[in-house]
Amino acid sequence: MECMSLSKLYQSLIYSLLILLPLPALSAEWRGVIATEGRYYFEEGDFGQEQELASVMIEPEFFHSWDEHNLSLVFKPFYRWDSMDSERTHGDIRELMLQYIGDEWEVKAGIGKVFWGVAESQHLVDIINQTDFVENIDGEDKLGQPMVAISTERDWGLLSIFALPGFRERTFAGEEGRLRFPYVIDTDNPIYEDPDGKSRLDGAIRWSNWFGDWDIGVAHFSGTSREPQFVLDTSNPNNPTLRPVYVAIDQTSIDLQATKGAWLWKLEAMSRSGFEANRYSAAVGGFEYTFYGVTDSGADLGVIMEYQHDSRDILPGGFKQEDVLVGGFRLAMNDIPSTEVLLGYSYADNQQFINLEASRRLGDSWKLVIEGRWFEGIDENRPMDSIFYPLRNDDYLSITFERYF
């Protein structure tokens, strides 16, 4: 029998969960956000793309609980319309999760999101969900992942076990989009190392606990890598494309965080097999130090320093591996509108990436978000020396207004 497609899996989950809703669910809670974004690129794209785009996003959320909150359902669909890129016009089910909380065990089933990690600049250990790369290149936006998760919290820590059916492929900018590769990514024809393809059942297990000032998590994942490699497809010489290649991997990881007064020390490290004949390892670690009350109004200023290392000489795509030094500042005004600014700076072999994120509430229901990305110091004559080379002309500034309901 042919395996169920992901779209049919979604439909089955939706129908199954809706059957569980009794009539009183009609009074359940709805909330969410709708946003409009305007983005300006400072240069024309390499392939003649426009410098201005507009988009609209909506992400409602439905929540209902029964049995004195021991049983609950959350449903969070997502949709974005983009004026420039048809691939960025996309929808997803971020969450559709039924949760049961018992005396000793918690069970979740459906589509959900799970986050692991402590570092600011890179989330090496966060592997459950696929990255929605067309939504944003910072890796923070994730696609919903079908899963069954069982967890228990005891004196010795929190243990979580995941069964992950239905692999999600990474999204990428289209031919008319910005922040794209030199060749179009053929997302319709991915290549899977495992003969079961996207129907392979992945699995993960994680233990976490805290000891005084220390928080620790140890995890293992076995399944299809969320990070694709690429092969050049020249079957149409007039329009070559890149086909994503998804290999089977085993990844063991650890994340540590220590809170020592104003200091926050962080480490993420992992060892992975599958991409090469030998295992490779990677780590990101550093600190954040907070100066409290730097202004009369009580603002806090955090100083961030992190270092990224990868044992490989060449990254997927053929790019040269360079260790990355990351610095930044986080300003929290601690005012009524919750004004926050994050400014990050990454340096590797004279190449720099500058990241700006700022937000401020406007009244009770609105929020202003400003985001900027700048890629500097990239040598036009050394395209394989930087993974940011394809983005060298994609510096941009965006303004988003979010309306919460």
- Work out the pLDDT band at 76, boundaries 50, 70, 90: very high
CA distances from 254 to 204, 205, 219, 251, 307 (A): 13, 12, 6, 10, 16
**Mean of the per-residue pLDDT values for the chain?**
91
- pLDDT score for 322: 82
pTM for the whole thing? 0.89
Q: Is 117 left (phi over 0), alpha (psi -120 to 50) or beta?
A: left
- pLDDT score for 16: 47
| DSSP for 89-104, written as a single string | SEEEEEEEEEEEE-SS
Structural domains in the chain (count): 1
| DSSP for 75-141, written as a single string | EEEEEEEESS-TTTSEEEEEEEEEEEE-SS-EEEEEEE-------SS--TT--SSPB-TTT-TTS--
SS3 label, residue 276:
coil
Helix (H) or strand (E) holding 247, with range, is: none
- Work out the pLDDT band at 313, boundaries 50, 70, 90: confident
The reply to whether 1 falls in a domain is no
- pLDDT score for 277: 66
The reply to whether 51 falls in a domain is yes
- pLDDT score for 300: 98
- Work out the pLDDT band at 19, boundaries 50, 70, 90: very low
The reply to whether 353 falls in a domain is yes
Q: Domain limits at 31?
A: 6-404
CA–CA gap between residue 342 and residue 140 (Å, rounded):
14
- pLDDT score for 191: 96
Which residue, 206, 243, 244, 241, is CA-closest to 225? 244
- pLDDT score for 68: 81
Q: Is the pLDDT of residue 26 over 60?
A: no
The pLDDT tens digits of the residues spanning 384-401 come to 667 788 889 999 999 999
Across the range 42-54, mean pLDDT stands at: 94
Percent of the chain with pLDDT over 70: 91
- pLDDT score for 14: 52
Across the range 5-22, mean pLDDT stands at: 50
CA distances from 256 to 121, 264, 286, 361, 369 (A): 15, 10, 11, 32, 30
The pLDDT tens digits of the residues spanning 128-144 come to 999 999 999 999 999 99
- Work out the pLDDT band at 321, boundaries 50, 70, 90: confident
State the CATH number of the domain containing residue 354.
2.40.160
Q: Is the pLDDT of residue 167 over 60?
A: yes
CA–CA gap between residue 118 and residue 268 (Å, rounded):
7
- pLDDT score for 318: 64
SS3 label, residue 67:
helix
Pair of tokens at residue 324: 């990355």
In 312-350, where do the E strands start and end? 324-332, 340-348
- Work out the pLDDT band at 39, boundaries 50, 70, 90: very high
In 165-240, where do the E strands start and end? 184-185, 191-192, 202-211, 214-224, 229-233
Q: Is the pLDDT of residue 67 over 70?
A: yes
Pair of tokens at residue 238: 């007039």
The pLDDT tens digits of the residues spanning 189-221 come to 999 999 999 999 999 999 999 999 999 999 999
